[in-house]
Structure 1
Amino acid sequence: MRSKGQQPNLQRKLTALVAGLCLTIILTVCFMVAVVQVQSAITAYTWGESVWSNAQIETVQHLDHFAETGNFSELAQARDSLGIPIGDLHARIAITSENLDWQRARNGLLQGGNHAEDLTRMILLIRLFSWLDQLERAIAAWAETDEQLLELDQIGNAMEREWLETSPSRDKLEALRERLAVLNVSLQKSARKFRLAMGDASRWSASFLSVVSAGFLILVALLSWYLGFRLVRLLKRTEQNFRSIFEQSAIGIIRIDTEGRIVNANRATYDILGYQPDELVPRPYRELVHPEDWDVAREERRAINSGAIDSYTTEHRLVRKDNTLLWARLTASRVWDAPSASAYFTTVLEDISESHRLSTELSYMATHDSLTGLINRREFEHQLASHLGRARNENTQHALCYVDLDQFKVANDTSGHDAGDQLLRQVANIISNNLREADTLARLGGDEFGIILQNCDLKTAGQVAEKVRAALDHLVFTWQETSHTISCSIGVVPINNESSGISALMKAADIACYTAKDSGRNRVSVMSLDDEHMASQQGQMEWHNRIQTALQENLLFLECQLITPTNRQSNGLRYEVLVRMRSAGGSVVPPSAFLPPAERYGMAARIDRWVIENVLENLSQVPEHLAALEACHINLSGRSFDQADFADFVVDLFDHYQVPPNKICFEITETAAVHNLLEIQSFMKRLSLMGCSFALDDFGSGLSSFGYLRRLPVNCLKIDGMFVRDIETDKTDFAMVRAIHDIGRTMNMITVAEYVESEQARVLLGQIGVDLVQGFGIHKPCPLQDILAMAPSRLSKQVARPKGHTE
Structure 2
Amino acid sequence: MATLIVLAGIAVMLTVTMLELQTSATAYIVGESHWSKAQQYASHGLHGYAASGDAQQLQLARDALRVPLGDHQARLALERDPPDLAAARQGLLLGMNAPQDVDRMIRMYRYFHNAPFFRDSVAQWQVGDAHVLELQGIADEMEAARAAGPVTPAQTQAWQRRILELDATLRPIEAAFSQSLVDGTRMLKTILTVASIVLFLAIAGLLMLILRWSLRRIHASEGMFRSAFHQAAVGMLKMKLDGRILEANEAIGEILNCPPQDLQGKLLGELLHADALARIARDEDGGIDWALCESPIEQRFLRADGEGRWLRWTASMIDSDTDGEDRVFAILEDVSESRRLGEEMRYQASHDAMTGLVNRREIDNRLQQSIDDARSFGDAHAFLFLDLDQFKLINDTCGHVAGDQLLRQIAGVLMLHMRSNDWMGRLGGDEFAIFLGRTGLDEALHIAERLRRALSASTFPWDGKRFNVTCSIGIARVSGEHVDASDVLRAADRACYQAKEDGRNCIRVYRESDQMMSRRRDDLAWVAEIREAIVEGRILLYAQRIEALHGPATLGYEVLVRLVDAQGVVYPPEQFLPAAERFGEAISIDRLVIAMALRLLEDHPAHLQALDLCHLNVSAQSIANPDFRSHVANLLDITRVPPAKLCFELTETAAIGNITRAREFIDEMRARGCRIALDDFGSGMASFAYLKTLPVDVLKIDGVFVRDLANNAVDPVLVRSMCEVARSLGKTTVAEWVEDRALIDRLRELGVDQAQGYGIHEPCALAELIAATTPHKAAGNS
Do they fold alike, i.e. is TM over 0.5? yes
Aligned residue for 1:271? Answer: 254
Aligned residue for 2:103? Answer: 120
Alpha-carbon distance between aligned partners in 1 of 2:352 and 2:516, rounded to the nearest angstrom: 33
Aligned residue for 2:303? Answer: 320
Q: Is 1:784 paired with 2:713? A: no
Q: Is 1:604 paired with 2:667? A: no
Aligned residue for 1:138? Answer: 121
Alpha-carbon distance between aligned partners in 1 of 2:427 and 2:445, rounded to the nearest angstrom: 20
Q: Is 1:154 paired with 2:137? A: yes
Alpha-carbon distance between aligned partners in 2 of 1:311 and 1:555, rounded to the nearest angstrom: 56
Deviation of the 1:350 alpha carbon: 1.6
Cα 1:44/1:242, change in 2 over 3 Å? closer
Alpha-carbon distance between aligned partners in 2 of 1:394 and 1:59, rounded to the nearest angstrom: 44
Task: Identify which of 241, 248, 253 aligns with 2:231.
Answer: 248
Alpha-carbon distance between aligned partners in 2 of 1:303 and 1:434, rounded to the nearest angstrom: 48
Alpha-carbon contact 1:543-1:594 (below 8 Å) kept: no
Cα 1:546/1:113, change in 2 over 3 Å? closer
Alpha-carbon contact 2:39-2:64 (below 8 Å) kept: yes
Aligned residue for 2:508? Answer: 525
Aligned residue for 1:450? Answer: 433
Q: Is 1:437 paired with 2:420? A: yes
Task: Identify which of 302, 313, 326 aligns with 1:330.
Answer: 313
Percentage of matched positions with identical amino acids: 32
Q: Is 1:378 paired with 2:383? A: no
Cα 1:157/1:245, change in 2 over 3 Å? closer
Alpha-carbon distance between aligned partners in 2 of 1:405 and 1:526, rounded to the nearest angstrom: 17
Deviation of the 1:410 alpha carbon: 4.4
Q: Is 1:360 paired with 2:324? A: no
Alpha-carbon contact 1:399-1:494 (below 8 Å) kept: yes
Q: Which runs of 5+ in 2 are unaligned?
A: 524-577, 591-613, 621-646, 672-687, 696-716, 731-782
Alpha-carbon distance between aligned partners in 2 of 1:781 and 1:164, rounded to the nearest angstrom: 47
Alignment of 1:686-765 (within 5 A): none
Alpha-carbon contact 2:248-2:261 (below 8 Å) kept: no
Alpha-carbon distance between aligned partners in 1 of 2:352 and 2:491, rounded to the nearest angstrom: 23
Q: Is 1:55 paired with 2:38? A: yes
Q: Is 1:506 paired with 2:489? A: yes
Cα displacement string for residues 571-617 of structure 1 (whole angstroms, at most 9, x for unaligned residues): xxxxxxxxxxxxx9x9x98x8x668xx55xxx13234668999999x
Alignment of 1:273-422 (within 5 A): 273-298=256-281, 311-337=294-320, 340=323, 342-422=325-405
Q: Which runs of 5+ in 1 are unaligned?
A: 1-16, 557-583, 617-632, 641-649, 654-775, 790-807
Deviation of the 1:531 alpha carbon: 7.6
Cα 1:609/1:227, change in 2 over 3 Å? closer
Alpha-carbon contact 1:315-1:330 (below 8 Å) kept: yes
Deviation of the 1:453 alpha carbon: 0.7
SS in 2 for 1:296: helix
Aligned residue for 2:766? Answer: none
Q: What one-letter code is carried by the residue in structure 2 that aligns with 1:85?
A: P
Alpha-carbon distance between aligned partners in 2 of 1:232 and 1:42, rounded to the nearest angstrom: 23
Cα 1:784/1:150, change in 2 over 3 Å? farther
Cα displacement string for residues 412-442 of structure 1 (whole angstroms, at most 9, x for unaligned residues): 4554433332222112112212211111101
Task: Identify which of 10, 13, 25 aligns with 1:42.
Answer: 25
Deviates more, 1:515-524 or 1:239-248: 515-524
Alpha-carbon distance between aligned partners in 1 of 2:31 and 2:499, rounded to the nearest angstrom: 60
Aligned residue for 1:171? Answer: 154
Deviates more, 1:433-442 or 1:380-389: 380-389
Deviation of the 1:354 alpha carbon: 1.4
Aligned residue for 2:444? Answer: 461
SS in 2 for 1:321: coil
Cα 1:333/1:113, change in 2 over 3 Å? same
Alpha-carbon distance between aligned partners in 1 of 2:421 and 2:280, rounded to the nearest angstrom: 33
Deviation of the 1:166 alpha carbon: 5.0
Alpha-carbon contact 2:311-2:333 (below 8 Å) kept: yes
Cα 1:183/1:610, change in 2 over 3 Å? closer
Alpha-carbon distance between aligned partners in 2 of 1:171 and 1:186, rounded to the nearest angstrom: 22
Aligned residue for 2:207? Answer: 224
SS in 2 for 1:255: strand
Deviation of the 1:445 alpha carbon: 2.7
Aligned residue for 1:771? Answer: none
Alpha-carbon contact 1:89-1:108 (below 8 Å) kept: yes
Q: What one-letter code is carried by the residue in structure 2 that aligns with 1:784?
A: V
Task: Identify which of 197, 201, 221 aligns with 2:184.
Answer: 201
Cα displacement string for residues 700-743 of structure 1 (whole angstroms, at most 9, x for unaligned residues): xxxxxxxxxxxxxxxxxxxxxxxxxxxxxxxxxxxxxxxxxxxx
TM-score by length of 2: 0.65
Alpha-carbon distance between aligned partners in 1 of 2:454 and 2:327, rounded to the nearest angstrom: 66
Alpha-carbon contact 1:221-1:228 (below 8 Å) kept: no
Cα displacement string for residues 302-332 of structure 1 (whole angstroms, at most 9, x for unaligned residues): 9997886782332222122222221111201
Alpha-carbon distance between aligned partners in 2 of 1:159 and 1:498, rounded to the nearest angstrom: 42
Alpha-carbon contact 1:94-1:101 (below 8 Å) kept: yes
Q: Is 1:496 paired with 2:479? A: yes
RMSD of equivalent CA atoms: 4.4
Could you say which structure has the larger radius of gyration?
1
Deviation of the 1:131 alpha carbon: 1.9
SS in 2 for 1:316: strand
Alpha-carbon contact 1:255-1:263 (below 8 Å) kept: yes
Cα 1:230/1:468, change in 2 over 3 Å? same
Aligned residue for 1:85? Answer: 68
Alpha-carbon distance between aligned partners in 2 of 1:126 and 1:422, rounded to the nearest angstrom: 58
Deviation of the 1:46 alpha carbon: 0.7
Alpha-carbon distance between aligned partners in 1 of 2:319 and 2:396, rounded to the nearest angstrom: 73
Deviation of the 1:495 alpha carbon: 1.5
Aligned length in residues: 588
Alpha-carbon distance between aligned partners in 2 of 1:614 and 1:359, rounded to the nearest angstrom: 42
SS in 2 for 1:223: coil
Task: Identify which of 218, 222, 236 aligns with 2:219.
Answer: 236
Aligned residue for 1:95? Answer: 78
Cα 1:384/1:352, change in 2 over 3 Å? same
Cα displacement string for residues 675-701 of structure 1 (whole angstroms, at most 9, x for unaligned residues): xxxxxxxxxxxxxxxxxxxxxxxxxxx
Aligned residue for 1:428? Answer: 411
Deviation of the 1:51 alpha carbon: 0.8
Deviation of the 1:38 alpha carbon: 2.2
Alpha-carbon distance between aligned partners in 2 of 1:534 and 1:509, rounded to the nearest angstrom: 16
Q: What one-letter code is carried by the residue in structure 1 that aligns with 2:153?
A: R
Deviation of the 1:63 alpha carbon: 1.5
Deviation of the 1:52 alpha carbon: 0.8
Aligned residue for 2:569? Answer: none
Alpha-carbon contact 2:74-2:90 (below 8 Å) kept: yes
Cα 1:782/1:303, change in 2 over 3 Å? farther
Alpha-carbon contact 1:62-1:77 (below 8 Å) kept: yes
Q: What one-letter code is carried by the residue in structure 1 that aligns with 2:725?
A: L
Alpha-carbon contact 1:310-1:334 (below 8 Å) kept: no
Q: What one-letter code is carried by the residue in structure 2 that aligns with 1:328?
A: L
Cα displacement string for residues 172-206 of structure 1 (whole angstroms, at most 9, x for unaligned residues): 32132222222111100100000100111223334
Alpha-carbon contact 2:253-2:260 (below 8 Å) kept: yes
TM-score by length of 1: 0.64
Deviation of the 1:469 alpha carbon: 3.4
